[in-house]
Amino acid sequence: MTLTAEAAAFAAQAHDGMLRKGTNVPYIIHPMEAASIAATLTDDEEILAAALLHDVVEDCGVTLQELRERFGIRVAQLVLSETQLSEGDPHKTWLARKREAIERIAQGDRAVRIVALSDKLSNMRAIRRDYDHDGDRMFFRFHQHDKRRHAWYYRSCAALLKEEFGQTNAWNELSEHVEYVFSGILPLLPEEEDTGV
């Protein structure tokens, strides 16, 4: 079994029974889609495996040690780069977690950024579909209900990824979805970035 196939099977088992927030869509569709996006940018199986596994630590209780033993140190590190771990109320830790995610993209290598781009594009595809159906109400399914803060987060991610991937179909699609969903949303002021949840 290839590394990618093993990662797909592991992710499917880990996410079994889970649904995307506010939908009846099986959760496994998201990491599968992220991996398919990553495959347009690389044929590195460790990166593709990380795209498939990127939520298993955050959402499924899988340990990094388990990933290291089963898939190797690099795959585990790539998963960690896309993992937003929080202690306490996730509503109150949203801003800190997103800042850390942005910093990991800023400091990451190409592999880290491929996994991040793949995850963000898959998320924005889902957000746009749900936004077209439900409008701004769809943001209430998330821990963070403020659309402006989601705009800040996805715009920040897209900006960091543009230099390396701005000529790719994946980045262009991400940018298009971000601008569509968050059209007319003004950037947060510096003091707003430091307040609220």
Task: From the candidates 6, 45, 58, 66, give the one annotated as an active-site residue.
Answer: 58
The answer to whether residue 59 is catalytic is yes
pLDDT at 115: 98
Tokens linked to 135:
């409008």
Domain spanning 3-193: which superfamily? Answer: Hypothetical protein af1432 (1.10.3210.10)
Contact by Cβ (8 Å): 197, 94: yes
Q: Which pLDDT score is estimated for 19?
A: 92
Q: Which residues, other chains included, contact 192 with Cβ-Cβ below 8 Å and sequence gap of 6+? A: 148
pTM: 0.93
Q: What is the CA radius of gyration of the chain?
A: 16
Name the percent of the chain in helix, strand, coil, to the closest 5: 70, 0, 30
The token pair at 52 is: 């498939």
Copy the structure tokens of residue 67.
């990933």
E strand or H helix that includes residue 154:
helix 147-165
The catalytically annotated residue of 33, 43, 45, 59 is 59
Catalytic status, residue 16: no
For 15, phi and psi rounded to 5 degrees? -95, 5
Per-block mean pLDDT, blocks of 10 residues, the chain (197 long): 97 95 90 98 98 96 96 98 80 88 97 98 97 95 93 97 98 98 83 56
Element (H, E) at 135: none
**pLDDT at position 23, please?**
83
Contact 32, 56 (CB under 8 A): no
pLDDT one-digit tens code per residue, 31-73: 999 999 999 999 999 999 999 999 999 999 999 999 999 999 9
Phi first, then psi, for residue 44 (nearest 5°) are -70, 115
**Could you give the angle at which helices 45-53 and 110-134 cross, rounded to 10 degrees?**
40
The answer to whether the beta carbons of residues 158 and 170 sit under 8 Å apart is: no
What is the model's pLDDT at position 197?
47
Burial class of residue 173 (count of CB atoms within 10 Å of its CB; 0-12, 13-18, 19+): middle
105/119 Cα distance (integer angstroms): 12
- Report CA 51 to chain centroid distance, whole Å: 9
